[in-house]
Each structure stands twice: as C-alpha cells, then as structure tokens.
Amino acid sequence: APVEKGNYAHYMQKEIFEQPIAVAQTLQSYVRPFEGEVALPTGDLDLATVGRVTIVACGTSFYAGMVAKYWIEQFARVPVDIDVASEFRYRQPVLEPGGLALFISQSGETADTLAALRHARSEQQRIAVVVNVPTSSMAREADLLLPTYAGPEIGVASTKAFTCQLAVLAALSANLARAKGRLSREEEQEIVQHLQEAPAALNAALGHDDDIASMAHLIAPARDVLYLGRGPDYPLALEGALKLKEISYIHAEGYAAGEMKHGPIALIDEAVPVIVLAPSGPLFEKTVSNMQEVRARGGKIVLISDAKGLEDAGEGCIATIEMPEVHPLIAPLVYAVPVQLLAYHVAVTKGTDVDQPRNLAKSVTVE
Ligand code: G6P
C-alpha cells in the first residue's frame, strides 16, 4: 500500500517526526539492553581482524559516515578513511587486502556508491553495507548487511534514514571496539545505555518544533547561512547546511567551528545568520569561543544547545533552540532534529516544494 502523509503537511515532516520510533526499531536489532551488549549479525566476518576501515557514501549518508569515523577511531582505535563515492573510485585509493569497506546508503542504489562497492570488492575488501532498502543492489552484494529499519523514506531530503544510520554505526563502532579488545564490559554497558536513551531524547528534541517554526522567518530572508560544529557534531553542521540548501534553496555552508577563522569569518556580517551546534560536553567551551569570534564581528547567532549550554552562552543570540542534555555519543542523532526542522520550516516559509525540491532525485542511479 502507498505510504500516506496522515496528519502531516509533507512526507519530510512526517519522517522527521517518525525518528524516535525508527531509531528504536533499528536499535532493537543491534543492542541487547538487558545484557548491556551490542550485537551485530557479523556471521563469519571476524571484526578482530579488521585493521582499517574505508567508508564510502554520498550526500547525507556521507555525513553519517563522517560521524562514524570519529566513533570508530575513538572507540576501536582502528584507522578510518572516508570518501564521497564519486571521488573514491578515481583517486586510486590504496586498499590493503582484507580491509573492511563500509558503504552507507538509504536507497542502496546510488550509482556512484554501488560502483565504489564493486571497486572495493575487486580490491579484496570485505564489504559491509548500511542500507535502508533491504532488497537493494547494495544489500545483495554485501558480506555484512546492516539494515536500518527506518521504513520507507519518501521525502527527497533524507531525515529518518540518517539518524537510523547513526544508530547502526554507533553499534558497529562499539562492536568493532569490543572485537579489538578496546572496550570493557562497563564501557559497553554505558554505550548501550546511552543508545537506548536516544529515542526519548529525539522525542524531547521534537518537542521544540513550535519554537523552531516561530524563528524560521529570521532565516528565510537570508542569502547565505553558516553552520558551525566541532568533533562528531561537525558533520551535523554539514548536514544542516545541506538540508537548508536542498529544500529552501538558500546558500549554506557547514564548517568545523575552529576552521572558520581560516576563511569564512570574512563573510560574517549582520546579514549572515550563523547556526552553532554546541552540546554540553568536552568540546563546548571551544565551540563557544569560536561563536564569540562571530559575535565580535556583528554576526547573528542561533545557538543550539542544552539548558546548561544556553545558560552559559545563550546571551546575545538572535535565537536559541533548546535540546535535551544528552551524552556526547548520541548528540549527533539528537542535533539532527533541530537542523532538519529548521530547514523544513524555512522552506515552508518560503513556499518551496519540500518533498520534491527542484533538480534533486531521491535516488541517483546515474554517475
Ligand atoms: C540523493 C538524495 C540525498 C541522499 C543521496 C545519497 O542526492 O537526494 O538525500 O543523501 O542521494 O543517497 P543514498 O540513497 O545513497 O543514501
């Protein structure tokens, strides 16, 4: 049966709101909450023998891969290479036989990613695939198939598939770390516990939909918007900028907060809103100090943080968006919600076609 929009105005809006359930559904297959264990269907693929991971994807799926690089290197201490698929194949990457090549795709059909998978196979890589369509080409060609259980995603701009990819990738990172002897029982239990907290945290983030809708008019007239984040939340800045570009047609750039002073700070004036993603945690102070550099140059800041962070740094911003206070591990999942909602409401304010943006396709099956 065709998927209906129900009470929602757009598929994208519906899919944003489905995230707590989609992520919970996905986690069910990858964590055992009572045992405090992650459990991937690794079959005869022995993760202990993985010495390098190569991640390849496109678009939003690529940004999920960028977050995974932070996690895999932090938890498992296994080096990670990452490329967009269209670059991977033609740059003659050095792939040692027996490495793990990880492909991330909602559709499982993106031509560049599929071709990259086949290239990696020809270079004796073991192939892991995180995919939302279990009958897709990539799913069929995987050695290790790690499905997301987001359900059908209709809106062209990916939302729930992204947070579900992150849930799978967090579990994969922990499983790899355990296989490598890098994770104690207690640490594994903690990771599982934090992942289990994600659906409720996503729900809490969605609770700020009205606040975000009522500030969309501040962003809608902008010609350029800058998104800043650090560490595993840097890819979320890139994802926020991509979402805004895709559906509202406003030029946006995501930047590593600390890199801004090497170029984009020259763009800052009162006409360029700067969206800062700064969850409480080890990188908070650093991100906030970059934010102050923007403010000192007259930049208009929208700060996305938790109550503690907003109390410390929220003053002088044109708007703030409050997120629940969460463990840094799940911050990238939770902070996906406000950047999706912001793009959504700005697009609705501008009257663009949210579900079918111009020039874009849900699944790009040409190179
Ligand atoms: C298209 C879609 C994006 C998506 C990208 C990768 O450009 O419009 O939303 O992120 O393809 O798609 P995939 O199915 O491989 O995740």
**Separation of 170 CA from ligand 1 center, angstroms?**
20
- 113-139 pLDDT, tens digit per residue, is 999 999 999 999 999 999 999 999 999
- pLDDT mean values, one per 10 residues, the chain (367 residues): 89 98 98 95 92 98 98 97 95 93 98 97 97 98 97 95 98 97 97 98 98 97 97 98 97 96 90 96 95 92 97 95 98 98 98 90 87
pLDDT score, position 124:
95
| Given 180, 286, 350, 362, the catalytic residue | 362
Identify the residue whose C-alpha is closest to ligand 1 atom 7.
59
Q: Is 314 helix (H, G, I), strand (E, B) or coil?
A: coil
Active site residue 160: no
- 317-364 pLDDT, tens digit per residue, is 999 999 999 999 999 999 999 999 999 999 999 999 898 899 898 988
**Separation of 115 CA from ligand 1 center, angstroms?**
15
Angle at alpha carbon of residue 228, lines to 173 and 19, rounded to 5°: 50
Cβ proximity of 157 and 357 under 8 Å: yes
What is the phi/psi pair of residue 161, to 5°? -65, -35
**Separation of 63 CA from ligand 1 center, angstroms?**
11
User: Which atom of ligand 1 is closest in space to residue 246's alpha carbon?
Assistant: 8
54 lines ligand 1 (CB under 6 A): no
Identify the residue whose C-alpha is closest to ligand 1 atom 8.
362
* Neighbouring C-beta atoms of residue 199, cutoff 10 Å: 22
Among 60, 84, 168, 238, name the best residue to mutate to test ligand 1's pocket (greatest count of ligand atoms within 8 A of Cβ).
60
26 lines ligand 1 (CB under 6 A): no
Buried b (16+ CB within 10 A) or exposed e, 88-108: bbeeebebeeebbbbbbbbbb
59 lines ligand 1 (CB under 6 A): yes
158 lines ligand 1 (CB under 6 A): yes
148 lines ligand 1 (CB under 6 A): no
Q: Going by C-beta distance under 8 Å and a sequence separation of 6 or more, which residues neighbour residue 309? A: 278, 279, 280, 284, 288, 303
Counting other chains too, the contacts that 29-32 makes at CB distance below 8 Å and 24 or more residues apart are: 29/147, 29/149, 30/146, 30/167, 30/168, 30/171, 30/172, 31/171, 31/192, 31/195, 31/196, 32/192
- The one-character DSSP state at 34 is T
Buried b (16+ CB within 10 A) or exposed e, 259-296: ebeeebbeebeeebbbbbbbbbbebbeebbebbeebbe
Spatial separation of the C-alpha atoms in residues 109 and 119, rounded to whole Å:
15
